[in-house]
A = this chain, B = another copy of it.
Amino acid sequence: MTDPHPLTPLLAPRSVAIFGASNDPTRISGRSLRYYREAGYQGALYPINPTRDTVQGLTAYPDLAAVPGPVEFAIIAVPANLATEAMQSCVAKGVKAVVMFTAGFAEIGPEGRAMQEHITAIAQQNGIRLCGPNCLGLFNMRTGHTPTFSSFLEEGPTAAGPLGMVTQSGAFGTHLLALAARRGIQVGVWLSTGNEADVAVADGISFLADDPDTTAIACYVEAIRDGAAFGAAVARARANGKPVIAMKVGGSTIGAAAAASHTASLAGSDAVYDAALRQLGVERAKTPEDLIEIAYACTRGRLPRSRRLAVVTMSGGAGVLMADAAEEEGLELTPLAEESQKEVLSWVPFAAPRNPVDVTAQALNDPTILDKGFDLLLGKENFPSMVGFFTTWASSPQMAEPLFRSVSAAAARYPDRYFALSAIASPQMQRRYEEAGVGLYEDPWRAVQSIAAAVRCAERLSSAPPPVPPVPQDMPPLPAGTLSEHEAKHILAAAGVPILAERLATNTAEAAAASSLGERLVLKIVSPEITHKTEVGGVMLDVPAAEAGAAYQRLVERVAARAPGAKIDGVLISPMVKGGVEMILGVQDDAVFGPVVMLGLGGIFVEVLRDVTFRIAPFGVEEAHRMIAELRGAAILRGARGQPPCDLDALALALSRLSLFAAAQRGRFTSIDINPLLVRATGEGVAALDALILTQAAAGEIHGGGATA
């Protein structure tokens, strides 16, 4: 990469000014400068302090203008009422990036929000990237750039390791940094984004995606403001071969309310977030422990090549447990070849030789069993990954060294394999294993779980993201105002979502003529004022074709009686179709991710089990197939209970086309519902039997809409 990343002035500047730098290195206002000096920052450092000539031994300047050379970056920690002035002096000096610790902005209410917007506008108009306000800053240990007052660096600079971390919350970020350090993970770059007036988590991911020394990226997110920017940053990391692991909080009702009070952010629905993160190729961690353990598994210098896993154990119980964990996580404990099993038994007569391979305590007496076992599994059996359970052997006076020799030698003999151990070791021994490329886990279940997460990350990185068809540019814009079912369906049909043949009849004769559509017909009232047709008796099912004219008359009279005054545009007539599976498709315009397509199975699946799944629009058929497979009731579509398999390709195509339509019409609708979409047997396609599009203009007119027919 020849062009530096646009965030280089923020994350790796050559010169730094610190507003209000204190001479006392233990005070919050003195900490950043102390950290810079301890970290060996090589750029220019300018403390700004109107009352002192020197600060912590460095020449101080009364104001930014007095600084002799150029200043690329500044820390602003002055009180909120002085922050505007500080920002203006940054503009005057040509500063390119600012970290603002100061609190008291959007998080405290409208007045603070106005002040924040004012400062952000100054920054943006003058090409200054602003991190914060109300953040704890960041560090980049690769250059010793430490504009933060996080207590994490109080005990000295940390190693410039392979993990990059981006956390919206600075306090919780500090907690995660401490947990990572205790786990032996070296975080080389950390960024906290606070109020995200300008720089957001996505910017941090984007910078780390380009940073050559970062191999994995961990994030803590409370709310994403710009889903597209987040998606682009993750795609950049993916293209550069770096897994992104994210914890997103605020999924619960109380949690979302607390998040709103905390970050003053819009918190989207957790189900949408969950699907979006999956679609973008992010490994979502549920808990801090998960985040840390997955980050650990992904920073061992290599990733597992496949789902095949060899398990070696000296405890049968641990073998059972790891087999349970592997099955739950979708890893494959392929049994060893007969011949290999015999070989194991020739060393240890009472071994369990299949996989898990239980070498029993026999290896205590003869550690060469381990060497032979590792060669058998990684050499002859060619497993890409191996996990060993050796409990307290790693810390026992007798076995610690023999075990380390055997394991580290095997890791060196097979440098392309993924090697993990479940064992209890001293911190020193733990480091020695890690330096040998072997990850250590106290809990064998956690070991398997973390390997599985690393496998998922590797799979994402080794496969291209599924193709997304281009969004049509020539689509006629959705008309404003209310759309009838008839209009909605024809618009969707033109966009590629099939519908049945149908005719709009406006009199008895036209209805009678529609009898050619099929032997049995469905008649539905068409009125812009009636969204819930069944409630006014506006639907007739299974009408014999010969009675179409009479049924038309009855239907119109019935609706006129039950919904007097409603303008009736006619009656929609279509063939009655039986069989197939009814699905519900929908689109909402999500505040974070834009149009989001929902899919669910009709009936109890949606109504009782809430079995629905989401995707950000647009997407292609491959992603649509994944979406379908995520439904708990997907077996229904594959032909459960003696029914023929459904036309999944047609369903996937309709989903993709709907997503392209939604992306093209973004901003012109608030919701689209297709309920039901009938999915017929393989080869017979799908058909939208009813549809409702609420356009932007119409959205205000109809309340509580959504469900149709």
A-side interface residues toward B, CB under 8 Å? 103-104, 107-108, 151-152, 154, 167-169, 171-172, 174-175, 178-179, 182, 220, 222, 249-259, 261-263, 286-289, 314-321, 323-328, 333, 349-350, 352, 354, 356, 358, 361, 391-392, 396-397, 424, 442-446, 603-604, 607-609, 632-633, 635-636, 640-641
Q: Which chain B residue has the least Cβ–Cβ distance from A611?
A: B609
Cα distance, A396 to B31, chains bound together (Å): 14
Interface pair A641/B321, CB less than 8 Å apart:
no
- Listed residue (A103, A249, A333) with the most chain B CB atoms within 10 angstroms of its CB: A249
Interface pair A175/B315, CB less than 8 Å apart:
yes
Interfacial chain B residues near A314, Cβ < 8 Å? 171
Closest 10 CB pairs of A and B: A262-B316, A169-B317, A252-B327, A171-B315, A172-B317, A287-B445, A255-B324, A255-B323, A254-B323, A175-B391
With A220-B317, A607-B641, A640-B607 already in contact, the answer to whether A258 and B152 are too (CB < 8 A) is no
Interfacial chain B residues near A262, Cβ < 8 Å? 316-317, 319-320, 352, 358
With A289-B443, A392-B151 already in contact, the answer to whether A107 and B321 are too (CB < 8 A) is no
A-B pairs with beta carbons under 8 Å apart, 27 shown: A107-B350, A151-B392, A154-B397, A169-B317, A172-B318, A172-B391, A175-B318, A178-B391, A178-B424, A179-B424, A249-B317, A254-B333, A255-B324, A256-B320, A258-B319, A258-B323, A261-B354, A262-B352, A286-B445, A287-B325, A287-B443, A289-B289, A604-B604, A604-B636, A607-B640, A608-B635, A609-B609
Given contacts A171-B318, A179-B442, A254-B333, 16 further A-B pairs with CB under 8 A are A104-B350, A151-B392, A179-B443, A220-B317, A249-B321, A249-B324, A252-B323, A254-B327, A255-B320, A258-B356, A262-B319, A288-B321, A289-B445, A604-B633, A604-B636, A604-B640
With A172-B318, A315-B175 already in contact, the answer to whether A328 and B446 are too (CB < 8 A) is no
Q: Which chain B residue has the least Cβ–Cβ distance from A316?
A: B262
Which label, helix, strand, loop or mixed, suits the secondary structure of the A interface? helix
Q: Which chain B residue has the least Cβ–Cβ distance from A136?
A: B361
In the complex this chain forms, how many copies of it are found? 2
Interface pair A169/B315, CB less than 8 Å apart:
yes
Interfacial chain B residues near A352, Cβ < 8 Å? 258, 261-262
Cα distance, A255 to B324, chains bound together (Å): 5
With A174-B392, A179-B442, A633-B604 already in contact, the answer to whether A316 and B261 are too (CB < 8 A) is yes
Cβ distance A485 to chain B, nearest Cβ, rounded Å: 23
Cα distance, A391 to B443, chains bound together (Å): 23
Cα distance, A151 to B390, chains bound together (Å): 13
Interfacial chain B residues near A317, Cβ < 8 Å? 167-169, 171-172, 220, 222, 249, 262
- Listed residue (A262, A289, A321, A358) with the most chain B CB atoms within 10 angstroms of its CB: A321
Interface pair B318/A252, CB less than 8 Å apart:
no
Interface pair A321/B255, CB less than 8 Å apart:
yes
